[in-house]
Copies of this chain bind each other. A is one copy, B any other.
Amino acid sequence: MQIRPARPVYIYSWGSVVGKKEHEGPLGELFDGYDSTDLFGTETFEKAESEMQKRALGLAMAKGGFLPEDIDCLLAGDLVNQCISSTYGLLSYKLPYIGLFGACSTAAEGLILSALLAGAYCRRCINVTSSHYCTAERQFRFPLEYGGQRPPTAQWTVTGSGAFVCTAEPADLLRLDGQYVPQITAVLPGIAVDGGINDANNMGAAMAPAAMDTLLRYFAENKSLEGIDLILTGDLGREGSAILADLMWSHGMDISSRLADCGKMIFRLDDRKTDVHAGGSGCGCSAVVLAADILENIRQGRLEKVLFVGTGALMNAMALYQGQSIPGIAHLVEITRTELPQEKVR
């Protein structure tokens, strides 16, 4: 069941920070900041990931002209065990903190809760998430030094962090007078779906059935593709994206011309030097592409309606050792370009 915020909620400002490889990718110039060492001035990759969250959050607040006391609730999470990138990264802001775990779907999960809380209870919510190639490899796969070979379906965890301020405050809306603003018009939380995939190097295939499930539930309520510019999945990659298009086609919907995937957009997949196989992945992947590319395009009037479908693979390394397969989840956020004429706001 899709839910609409009880009053209009807008994504007011956002921030994105990435690593070296992401900065060198096709969207490189769009991100707010990057670090060519991937260490962000710290001595471990885990601390670097925390530092990215801290910076992305600071950027999103600063670009909106907000101080911590202007924010009522912070929602955050990441891929590192017990979500410590968020914990340590966000300590200094001293904000009421709701910790999330949605694997790579965390940006969408955070936007869902931000929109619903700002729609009924809070002035403004901020949500942030991150991933880091080196923390993810250490934790989920092999030590970097091992130099293991990767199959073509493997994805490359994006080093990056994205943050979003959602507001329903009348005072903020006045400041947006006459501008295009991304509004969260509906949300649809995902249902975990287990397609039976147990290969940690084929996350796209593990997540595609969940994305299909969410999209079918969305279109059961909103009958048509009409007016939707983009169905933006989080990190299905080349493999998962193709599977999703096929699955939807088998249910009578051809979404292929509208389908885009953050994991495919952030790297040059066909560049052998980039060497990311099926594309980018991770919590940071969808967060930074949504922030730096999609929301800016909405603000500048080039996109009108986007279904942001954050995809996540809900597994850990031990579960695979114990023979479990990898369930996927996909959270949907319907983002619509709105023009705020001053009289409407007042």
Give the B-binding residues of A (Cβ under 8 A): 1, 3, 6, 44, 46-47, 72-73, 77, 79-84, 87-88, 90-91, 94-103, 109, 112-113, 116-117, 119-122, 188-192, 194, 314-319, 322, 324, 327, 329
- State the main secondary structure of chain A at its contact with B: mixed
Contact pick for A116, options B81, B91, B95, B121, CB 8 Å: B121
For A73, A82, A327, the residue with the greatest tally of chain B CB atoms inside 10 Å of its CB is: A82
Given A97-B189, A102-B99; A317-B117 close (CB under 8 Å): no
- B residues less than 8 Å from A188 (CB atoms): 96
Q: How far is the CB of A178 from chain B (nearest CB, A)?
A: 30
Q: In whole angstroms, what is the CA distance A191 to B98 when docked?
A: 9
A191 to B81, Cβ gap below 8 A? no
* 4 residue pairs, one from A and one from B, having the closest CB atoms: A96-B189, A120-B120, A82-B316, A87-B314
Which of B99, B102, B112, B318 meets A314, CB within 8 Å?
Answer: B99
Contact of A95 among B95, B96, B113, B191 (CB under 8 A): B191
Question: What are 18 contact pairs spanning A and B, CB under 8 A?
Answer: A3-B122, A44-B322, A73-B189, A81-B82, A81-B316, A82-B103, A82-B315, A82-B316, A84-B318, A84-B319, A95-B191, A96-B188, A97-B329, A98-B102, A99-B100, A99-B109, A99-B314, A100-B101
Given contacts A6-B120, A84-B316, are A97 and B190 in contact (CB under 8 A)?
A: yes
Known contacts A109-B98, A315-B82; decide if A121 and B322 are in contact (CB<8 Å): no
Q: Which residues of B contact A100 (CB under 8 A)?
A: 98-101
Q: Are B83 and A101 in contact (CB under 8 A)?
A: yes
Q: Which of B47, B73, B79, B87 contacts A327 (CB 8 A)?
A: B87
Question: A88 and B319: CB pair below 8 A?
Answer: yes
Assuming A97-B190, A98-B113, is B90 touching A315 (CB within 8 A)?
no
In whole angstroms, what is the CA distance A47 to B318 when docked? 11
> Please, which residues of chain B bring their CB within 8 A of the CB of A44?
322
| Cα distance, A97 to B113, chains bound together (Å) | 12
B121 near A84 with CB under 8 A, answer no
Name the B residues within 8 Å of A95 (CB-CB).
Answer: 191
In the complex, what residue of chain B is closest to A313 when comparing beta carbons? Answer: B82
User: What separation, in Å, do the CA atoms of A113 and B98 have in the docked complex?
Assistant: 9
**Contact residue among B6, B90, B101, B116 (Cβ-Cβ distance under 8 Å from A77):** B101
Question: A4 → chain B, closest Cβ, in Å?
Answer: 9
In the complex, A3 Cα to B116 Cα: how many Å? 14
C-alpha spacing A56/B73, complex, angstroms: 29
Q: Report yes or no: A314 in contact with B1, Cβ–Cβ below 8 A.
A: no
Residue of B nearest to A47 (CB): B322
Instruction: Say whether A87 contacts B6, CB under 8 Å.
Output: no
Contact status A192-B97, CB under 8 Å:
yes
- Decide if A87 touches B315 in the complex (CB within 8 Å): yes
